[in-house]
Amino acid sequence: MESGKASPTHTFVAWVTPIAEKLRRDRDEVIAFVRSVEPDAWSRPSNVEDWTCKEVLAHLAGGNDQIVQQLLRSVAAGERVDPAIFSVDTDAENARAIAAQRHKPVSELIEELVRDGEEVQELLASLEDAHENLKQDLPFTLGQFLQIVEKEGHDLLHLSQLREALGKKA
């Protein structure tokens, strides 16, 4: 099995390495930024769907991004991936997830971001070469899906929105 390194604690097969590195760097950048935000700034409005800055953070800490983790958990456990995870009503799921996170203090949301990022890295480290072409009942292979996730840059999109709302430069 050919492997690459993406962090000091995880080793990945070659096709996963660039994906894992990008996701880790993006998450690390978000975490560094949100840890630098003054506590009173979280109640400011953002430019995202009438959400406050804290609600954007809550979305990152438990929004519909859990699809990646759900899929990777199934693959790591050797279970069949349920294609229904891709038919989620995104707006409704985002609203539900934010409502569930709204009561949490910012520090807890940040720690959830850290834990989720670490879980994704651990799950990616469990993938093997054969998983790249795993398709099952999905309209794409696992490798194709993870490349989409890597290129989408979801964390960095919301990071730029938070920076704009909080008046902080990159």
- In whole numbers, what is the pLDDT of the chain averaged over residues? 89
Give the total number of structural domains in the chain.
Answer: 1
Is 44 part of a structural domain of the chain? yes
Whether residue 3 has pLDDT greater than 50: no
Examine residue 8 and state whether it is found in any structural domain, yes or no: no
Q: What CATH number did the domain enclosing 63 receive?
A: 1.20.120.450
Q: How confident is the model at residue 169 (pLDDT cuts 50, 70, 90)?
A: low
Whether pLDDT at 63 is above 90: no
Is 160 a member of any domain? yes
Q: Across residues 99-109, what is the average pLDDT?
A: 93
pLDDT of residue 87: 80
Percentage above 70 pLDDT, the chain: 92
Q: Is 79 within the bounds of a domain? A: yes
Q: What is the pLDDT of residue 123?
A: 96
Q: Binning pLDDT at 50, 70 and 90, where does residue 97 land?
A: confident
Residue 92, domain extent: 13-166
Q: Could you tell me the pLDDT band of residue 65, with boundaries at 50, 70 and 90? A: low
Residue 83 in any domain: the answer is yes
pLDDT interval class at 96 (50, 70, 90): confident
Work out the average pLDDT over 73-77: 94
In a domain, 88, yes or no: yes
Residues 6+ positions from 156 with CB-CB distance below 8 Å: 26, 29, 30
What does the pLDDT average to over 99-114?
93
What per-residue confidence (pLDDT) applies to 58? 92
Residue 138 lies in a domain: yes
pLDDT tens per residue, range 142-154: 999 999 999 999 8
Is the model's pLDDT at 73 over the cut of 80? Answer: yes
**How confident is the model over 34-44, as a mean pLDDT?**
96
Do residues 121 and 6 touch, judged by C-beta distance below 8 A?
yes
Q: What is the mean pLDDT of residues 64-90?
A: 85
